[in-house]
Structure 1
């Protein structure tokens, strides 16, 4: 790995990288960025989670001319979720340069997208069907596009998008740079590369076989609306010394951290939008133990070196196994054991199986503790504190008061009252956690494109209501 400052990047890009906590390249970034900066077409064969968004995003930001108010780059992604994720990361990478990024996808009001396009974004990230729709309407002008990125090309093939991609590539200027990223290289994808790319350089990043022998791994099958209560019950029952909770989005991180604080836990969140000073302050408090629970996004947790983390909770299952292994690797360090618990919506079970295949470990199913079990967990914590107080303190100044109590009540009643007083009972204060749609259902790769009709390819209707909120009590 090399440091980003050694890649001849502009000061504005280096500032953006520092702001989000990126210091060293991943293997695909190390190999791709110099080639892309030379203007070469690139075929990148790499799994999601290897850092490929920054691998194509950093050179892309470097090439943007902010004085040109036309669209200069298209990034084509298979799903709405990935389009949003990529556009958010590109926005962060181009933050100091003030690069405007817009995501467009099916299921969103097209007139709103047309209004947003009038604000002159430099980069458009979109799903193929919606991009083609805008091209036909002439709401996306193509004459100044110098770079096209195909992200997760094999997934777009599986989803039946190849014809749309070919039409898009035929519409953009011939003199351009084309970057294609794909986990696998089926023949149809090779044909796209031959037809639309010029002497492409190939970068292959072999997926590591990832094992996590020191970590006990569990999953909890739970509906979205029940996740937060499941998390608090587990925190009460297991009483972790230090815990990290991973969320998929920065909104999720902010809301879960705030909800935990409302319920009486010492928790704070970190994500890429925090200033470096705030991020370091939160991490320092976590390392010192003044915060029990750290809530984080994948990006913010990159490169964290924290000892003593006993539990990792995946509030949202990650889309790729590499991110999963990276997350749970925060625990089980220095020969110590750790525990990882992943919340999985019923329709996300396919992602769980993919993780198990990658890690070569089956996860055990865990039931959400009852309220009685949660209280029992907190009682155990209180009893441990009492034992430590007996072992480590001079209690002579308290004996007289204890003797007076024993003349009024029996010992069992006094100890029970002390346990109740010292035990943190599960809170029921209402909290607000916004609804997040589960990940798209994993389909059989051979049959998916046959089953999904042209009119419904962008995203199932039930995934479109992603801004709803619900209250927990």
Structure 2
């Protein structure tokens, strides 16, 4: 099935083609028509399967410039994800010219309030900042036609259940509700069903991203020699774009300083870095102006960056799930990827747990 058969109009097809998107992913194939037809949906699909476009494409088909009220609200658990959704929406908005607002913390609320003085058709927000606007009376959700809850499992994990319910209570009962989640826990289902009318369940089978399309290796070293080992591996691989994960902000800072001193084209990303700077760094990385992004797990969830060939786990992740999330930044949409993890003797227990979970003994790399 192609996008035209899914009812996507010509001007949007041209935008997709321009961005190299020609074939719908399974989640897009299953979701676009029901969403366009106004159905409530609860969809399970892992990060990197194209779920943002699965809801944005039908939303852009249905939204109208001529209605002077907010028609769509997309709620995201993190700023990073909100920024990413906004970037995708801006591309699709090239021909639509609807008024959009991204409302998240770290951005000046005054400029958001000014923007709200003109009619806004689509809002992409994080819960805290949206509630702030609702309390100030600067946003009116009473005429919302479509409400999207993205990364619902993360939303609950981060303790936003009450905020989500408070936001939903301010929307029209007649709205269409779309819930997207990487996992379909009973908590997510409970929340979804409470606010939905006869929802259609869509579940995209988990493709074994960790095994099928990603080559995994481990380098055994010691904490003392880890930096040397990493530099040797980077010099051998010289990837087009790579993310290097560290356990703490302090370790990110130290590694970034050492890499910059050694002439690597790199930048760091963690929660202590000012929001505006984080956005600039992400933009440069997406544009491939930066070769190495050194990050904490802030960057490992929800960030869909095409072109990341390699993931280096400078520090072993705390859990097997974190490992899967981290290495899922590469090998996207069926393309091949490579991941290398540096371990010292005290990491063996965690490594065994990871191998047990992914049912695979990760080969050792000699350097």
TM-score by length of 2: 0.68
Counterpart in the other structure of 2:330: 324
Counterpart in the other structure of 1:162: 161
What is the count of residue pairs matched by the alignment?
297
User: Between Structure 1 and Structure 2, whose CA radius of gyration is higher?
Assistant: 1
| CA distance, structure 2, for counterparts of residue 362 and residue 4 of structure 1 | 39
In structure 2, the CA distance between the partners of 1:353 and 1:170, relative to structure 1 (3 Å rule), is farther
Which piece of structure 1 moves more, 31-40 or 212-221? 212-221
SS of the residue corresponding to residue 249 of structure 1 reads helix
Cα RMSD of the aligned pairs, angstroms, is: 3.8
SS of the residue corresponding to residue 149 of structure 1 reads strand
Offset, 1:364: 6.0
| CA distance, structure 2, for counterparts of residue 359 and residue 108 of structure 1 | 43
In structure 2, the CA distance between the partners of 1:209 and 1:153, relative to structure 1 (3 Å rule), is same
Counterpart in the other structure of 1:370: none
- The answer to whether the Cα contact below 8 Å between 1:209 and 1:358 also exists between their aligned partners in 2 is no
SS of the residue corresponding to residue 238 of structure 1 reads helix
| CA distance, structure 2, for counterparts of residue 214 and residue 252 of structure 1 | 21
Offset, 1:60: 0.8
In structure 2, the CA distance between the partners of 1:126 and 1:358, relative to structure 1 (3 Å rule), is farther
In structure 2, the CA distance between the partners of 1:194 and 1:231, relative to structure 1 (3 Å rule), is same
Offset, 1:195: 2.2
| 224, 231, 236: which one aligns with 1:238 | 236
Counterpart in the other structure of 1:110: 109
| CA distance, structure 2, for counterparts of residue 231 and residue 7 of structure 1 | 46
Offset, 1:255: 6.2
Offset, 1:149: 0.2
Counterpart in the other structure of 2:285: 252
Deviation per CA, 1:365-394: give whole Å up to 9, x if none: 999xxxxxxxxxxxxxxxxxxxxxxxxxxx
In structure 2, the CA distance between the partners of 1:19 and 1:315, relative to structure 1 (3 Å rule), is farther
| CA distance, structure 2, for counterparts of residue 15 and residue 209 of structure 1 | 31
Within 5 Å, give how 1:391-406 maps onto structure 2.
none
Offset, 1:301: 4.5
| 310, 314, 317: which one aligns with 1:313 | 310
Counterpart in the other structure of 1:429: none
| CA distance, structure 1, for counterparts of residue 137 and residue 191 of structure 2 | 24
- The answer to whether the Cα contact below 8 Å between 1:28 and 1:50 also exists between their aligned partners in 2 is yes
Offset, 1:157: 1.0
Counterpart in the other structure of 2:22: 23
| CA distance, structure 2, for counterparts of residue 354 and residue 99 of structure 1 | 49
| CA distance, structure 2, for counterparts of residue 118 and residue 366 of structure 1 | 61
Offset, 1:80: 1.2
In structure 2, the CA distance between the partners of 1:175 and 1:239, relative to structure 1 (3 Å rule), is closer
Offset, 1:67: 2.5
Counterpart in the other structure of 1:36: 35
Deviation per CA, 1:337-362: give whole Å up to 9, x if none: xx545799xxxxxxx99997558454
| CA distance, structure 2, for counterparts of residue 12 and residue 251 of structure 1 | 28
Counterpart in the other structure of 2:72: 73
Counterpart in the other structure of 1:204: 203
Deviation per CA, 1:138-171: give whole Å up to 9, x if none: 1112233110000111111111111111111111
| CA distance, structure 2, for counterparts of residue 340 and residue 70 of structure 1 | 47
SS of the residue corresponding to residue 4 of structure 2 reads helix
Query: Where in structure 1 are there 5+ consecutive unaligned residues?
Result: 222-226, 260-296, 303-311, 332-338, 345-351, 368-473
Deviation per CA, 1:11-65: give whole Å up to 9, x if none: 2221221121111111111001011111100000122222111111111111111
Query: Where in structure 2 are there 5+ consecutive unaligned residues?
Result: 222-226, 244-280, 293-302, 314-322, 344-350
| CA distance, structure 1, for counterparts of residue 133 and residue 40 of structure 2 | 25
Offset, 1:201: 0.5
SS of the residue corresponding to residue 202 of structure 2 reads strand
- The answer to whether the Cα contact below 8 Å between 1:220 and 1:343 also exists between their aligned partners in 2 is yes
Counterpart in the other structure of 1:465: none
